[in-house]
Amino acid sequence: MNILGISCYYHDSAACLLQDGRIVSAAQEERFNRRKNSSDFPLMAANYCLQAGNVTINDIDYIGFYEKPFLKFSRVVLSHLRSYPFSLPNFLSTMPHWLQDRLIMPMIFKRELGYEGKSIFIKHHLSHAASAFLVSPFEEAAILTADSVGEWATTTMGSGCNSEIKILNEIHFPDSLGLLYTAITTYLGFAADEGEGKVMGLAAYGKPRYIEALRNIVVVRADGSFIIDQRFFGFNTGFRMYSRKFVAMFGPARVPDGLLEERHCDMAASLQLFIEETLISIARNLYRITKSDNLCLAGGVFLNCVANSRIIEETPFKNIFIQPAAGDSGGAIGVASYMYHSLLGNQRDSIMNDTYLGPDYSANQVRRALASAGLDFREMEDGALSEYVAERIAQNKIVGWFQGRMEFGPVRWGTVQSSPTR
Ligand SMILES: [Fe+2]
């Protein structure tokens, strides 16, 4: 059975081909069209996936889409109405996208891929949950997802057993750790959905002296659920994600590429600490509910490897699996796996052991590409190459290394055995 999973139209568009429950190929569209975090329909990625599986679109039994467009649309409309009239420009600018593609996905599958077969749509956070649990080595596990927002959910707590996934609790928009992180990322002068990793790195240079102020803005309850004081933010206006009130409290925002001051580093440190504490609190509560030794994580918030390492160290879970493509690209794997295992009832017998799921290129293809680009190059034997590269690294030079299949997702994959709880 062939199932094509698709995620697109927000960021990190991707496709994945599942053959009899095994992931044979997965790739992000950005690697083909060379636009980072591309939100385009993943046509080239899908075509690559089909080719890697030696099938055509006519061999596909189901296309799975990583969210429910109409449910998401209802949230977009309602939340824009709540912030009317400030949200009007943003609302008007996004409407054409909804009408031209997001709400007519079966027609898009036909137009882009020539596909007229069965398609399924599952909730965004279920795709995230499935992308972690169903490809993990665990028969049963607790599942935690967190991102900016799917349809309504921004954070879910659930559990998985064999091929079944249960969502036990959800936190809804606009209370969102992902949006909070992105809003402050833009306040610090970095791009939304792109600069969050820089803020995580910047945090190491600062002191968390704004942590109490953040705790007053975002109230975290004992069970880890939280409420964000929306007077400090503007998640819907499209103008900027933080409000005048936020600026009045913390000072003017940093302009992009402007000087990085101590207070910027301190804000990054405060945000990072706040996110870490909140995720640990949610994970501990999930452990209390599920009593499972195993935890699966997915959703863009779990691209935060510093927070992940604290979850591993400071919660009672013994084993942790993090979907390597924790952001929206991984939803393509999630929906395809959910279709095959959870909806069609097929047993799980395939674990995601690595992320080398994209195209590879032969030495001849590389030679041709270099020659046609008019670049100087020379070929070396393995031993001499290693020596040459090691020397350059020792001289503080930067080395790019290309080998084998392209990785799927931006971070290293892994199942981790945690040390005893502290
Ligand atoms: Fe997401």
Chunked mean pLDDT (size 10), the chain, 422 residues? 96 96 97 94 98 98 97 87 78 83 93 97 98 98 97 97 97 96 97 92 97 96 91 80 94 95 97 97 96 98 96 97 96 98 95 94 94 94 94 95 91 45 34
Nearest to 153 by CA among 226, 39, 72: 72
Strands 22-28 and 62-65: unpaired
> Residue 366 and residue 33: Cα distance in Å, rounded?
18
CA of 385 to the centre of ligand 1 (A): 41
Q: Report pTM.
A: 0.92
Nearest to 124 by CA among 353, 330, 267: 330
DSSP 151-184: SSEEEEEEEEETTEEEEEEEEETT--HHHHHHHH
Please state the φ and ψ torsions of residue 361, each to the nearest 5 degrees: -135, 135
CA of 299 to the centre of ligand 1 (A): 5
Q: Which residues pair with 166 in a beta bridge?
A: 159
Buried b (16+ CB within 10 A) or exposed e, 171-204: bebbbbbbbbbbbbbbbbbbebbebbeebbebbe
CA of 128 to the centre of ligand 1 (A): 7
Domains of the chain: residue spans and CATH: 2-138+327-343 (3.30.420.40), 177-322 (3.30.420.40), 363-394 (no CATH)
CA of 300 to the centre of ligand 1 (A): 6
CA of 403 to the centre of ligand 1 (A): 29
pLDDT of residue 413: 41
> Could you read off the pLDDT of 54-82 as tens digits, one per residue?
999 999 999 999 999 999 998 888 888 88
The residue whose two tokens read 């290309």 is 402
In this structure, the number of other CB atoms found within 10 A of the CB of residue 78 comes to 11
CA of 378 to the centre of ligand 1 (A): 43
> Residue 184 and residue 271: Cα distance in Å, rounded?
8
pLDDT of residue 237: 66
CA of 250 to the centre of ligand 1 (A): 29
DSSP 266-320: HHHHHHHHHHHHHHHHHHHHHHHHH--SEEEEESGGGG-HHHHHHHHHHSS-SEE
Nearest to 9 by CA among 32, 37, 46, 41: 41
CB of 249 within 8 A of CB of 215? no
CA of 165 to the centre of ligand 1 (A): 17
CA of 223 to the centre of ligand 1 (A): 22
CA of 301 to the centre of ligand 1 (A): 9
CA of 332 to the centre of ligand 1 (A): 11
- Could you tell me how far CA 195 lies from the centroid of its own chain? 14
CA of 67 to the centre of ligand 1 (A): 9
> Residue 386 and residue 175: Cα distance in Å, rounded?
50
CA of 326 to the centre of ligand 1 (A): 8
CA of 148 to the centre of ligand 1 (A): 6
